[in-house]
């Protein structure tokens, strides 16, 4: 059985008024002399291509193939346009053109999706990270029919287009939209319901001020306190609600929250382009406790967890569930983690120091938070792997 194709980050892009200027009199580019790129389009498309977006060309061309709009002329101008963009490393994965007029009632003309339906069944959109770029209301409605946002450009020819169809209800320039797409907060939402737990999570890895805001309720007060440490010290906004079978014990609640949070973390990171990936030899101290931690967002989950807690519980959280949280979270988030938490320095243990269980558990969560904050930091657009993916 053939596996379902993986969804892809995609930009669907109109031509006239979007890639090139559209003459106000004819609404049609008829000669090479009229072929002019919009400001900033090459730099923006190059940045977006380097960030891993597939580029798809989708254009309505009224009466294409008639004397009014000769196909030879259209193809000639397109060849020149694609050659110009290709010289800057910008390639389109597919090119689609509707040759009809509105009166034809065809299925392929935007805002209908007939032009791209078959293609997108083979190469589906990653809905959380795909966009339409155009200059008309038909482009906005086309995006809506595909279930993705639209960026409508500030058009000389169509200045009164409906802003409500565009991201943030505004008209954009190419530099603005490229910056918005590449620097927007990395967010995810997840709901997970089983016979044992009912969980909802909202995560933003890029809290606006880097402080991390949280709203957490799992029914386990000490566990809530630890998840708050992840949010605040990891610089991520985090909302978690869990209704679990605590009348049995804490196991299902802690395990399922860890799995759901790990999946939400992986979803927010996406293809991991541009991230630092590693955080190593981090040392975090909390009074008598010293926690050493290193992580790799490698896509290969593996955990080494070395911590002996003096007491069986910290508050209402069984300490045996602390390691299980780390293993479950890293399994879902596909993280390699090594953690060692002890009283004093491992080579020179403090004489007479008795580690506090609360301190040890909290140091583990704070250390994880600081490492995640370091490893997800964006420093470019490439993937930190010779394999080309993480």
Judge whether residue 310 has pLDDT over 60. yes
Count of beta carbons in the 10 Å neighbourhood of residue 121: 9
Active-site residue, selected from the candidate residues 16, 129, 139, 237: 16
198 catalytic residue (yes or no): no
The CATH architecture one would assign to domain 187-375 is 2-Layer Sandwich (3.30)
Structure-token match 């795909």, residue found = 130
pLDDT > 90 fraction of the chain, expressed in percent and rounded: 82
State the catalytic residue, choosing from 14, 237, 256, 374: 14
Q: Which of 300, 315, 287 is nearest to 220 (CA)?
A: 315
Bridge partners, residue 318, by sequence:
313
Q: Kindly tell me if the per-residue pLDDT of 59 is higher than 80.
A: yes
Q: What is the pLDDT of residues 329-360, one digit of tens each?
A: 999 999 999 999 988 765 655 555 788 999 99
pLDDT at residue 23, as a whole number: 85
Kindly list the domain boundaries of the chain, sorted by start residue.
Answer: 8-183, 187-375
Taking alpha carbons only, the member of 226, 252, 261 closest to residue 332 is 261
Upstream peptide bond of 111 is cis (omega within 30 degrees of 0): yes
Task: State how far the alpha carbon of 57 is from the alpha carbons of 80, 120, 212, 304, in Å.
Answer: 15, 13, 39, 48
Give the chain's mean pLDDT. Answer: 93
> 8-183: what CATH class?
alpha beta
For the entire predicted model, the pTM comes to: 0.84
Average pLDDT over residues 313-338: 98
Question: What's the pLDDT at 2?
Answer: 58
**What does the alpha-carbon distance between residue 57 and residue 115 come to, in Å, rounded to a whole number?**
10
88-97 b/e with 16+ CB inside 10 Å = b?
A: eebebebebb
pLDDT band at 26 (very low <50, low <70, confident <90, very high): confident
**What pLDDT, on the 0 to 100 scale, is given for residue 359?**
97
Q: Is 129 a catalytic residue?
A: no
Q: CA–CA separation, 361 vs 131, rounded Å?
A: 43
pLDDT confidence of residue 221: 98
pLDDT tens sequence across 240-284: 999 999 999 999 999 999 999 999 999 999 989 899 999 988 899
C-alpha–C-alpha distance, residues 270 and 376, integer Å: 11
The helix (run of H) or strand (run of E) holding residue 303 is: strand 302-307
**Six-digit token pair at 79?**
């060849």
pLDDT in tens, 146-169: 999 999 998 877 767 788 999 999
CA distance 195 to 216: 21
**pLDDT band for position 170 (50/70/90)?**
very high
């Amino acid at each position: 059985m053939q596996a379902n194709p993986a969804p892809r980050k995609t930009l669907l892009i109109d031509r006239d008024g979007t890639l090139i200027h559209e003459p106000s009199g004819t609404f049609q580019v008829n000669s090479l002399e009229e072929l002019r790129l919009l400001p900033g389009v090459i730099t923006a498309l190059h940045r977006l291509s380097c960030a891993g977006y597939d580029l798809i060309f989708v254009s309505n061309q009224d009466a294409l193939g008639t004397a009014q709009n000769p196909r030879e002329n259209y193809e000639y101008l397109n060849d020149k346009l694609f050659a110009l963009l290709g010289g800057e490393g910008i390639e389109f994965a597919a090119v689609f053109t509707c040759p009809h007029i509105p009166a034809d009632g065809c299925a392929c003309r935007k805002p209908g999706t007939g032009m791209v339906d078959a293609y997108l069944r083979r190469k589906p959109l990653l809905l959380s990270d795909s966009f339409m770029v155009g200059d008309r209301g038909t482009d906005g409605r086309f995006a809506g029919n595909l279930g993705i946002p639209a960026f409508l450009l500030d058009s000389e020819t169509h200045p009164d287009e409906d802003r409500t169809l565009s991201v943030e209800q505004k008209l954009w320039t190419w530099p603005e939209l490229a910056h918005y797409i590449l620097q927007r907060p990395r967010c995810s939402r997840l709901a997970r319901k089983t016979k044992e737990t009912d969980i909802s999570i909202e995560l933003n890895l890029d809290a606006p001020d880097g402080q991390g805001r949280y709203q957490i309720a799992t029914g386990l007060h000490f566990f809530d306190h630890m998840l708050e440490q992840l949010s605040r010290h990891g610089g991520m906004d985090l909302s978690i609600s869990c209704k679990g079978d605590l009348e049995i014990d804490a196991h299902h609640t802690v395990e399922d929250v860890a799995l759901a949070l790990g999946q939400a973390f992986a979803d927010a990171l996406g293809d991991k382009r541009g991230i630092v990936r590693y955080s190593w030899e981090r040392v975090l101290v909390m009074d008598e406790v010293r926690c050493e931690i290193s992580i790799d967002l490698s896509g290969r989950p593996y955990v080494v967890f070395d911590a002996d807690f003096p007491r069986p519980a910290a508050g209402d959280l069984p300490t045996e569930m602390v390691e299980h949280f780390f293993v479950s979270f890293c399994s879902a988030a596909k993280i390699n983690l090594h953690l060692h938490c002890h009283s004093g320095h491992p080579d020179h243990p403090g004489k007479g120091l008795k580690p506090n269980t609360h301190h040890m558990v909290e140091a583990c969560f704070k250390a994880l938070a600081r490492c995640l904050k370091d490893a997800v930091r964006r420093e470019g657009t490439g993937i930190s792997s010779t394999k080309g993916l993480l």
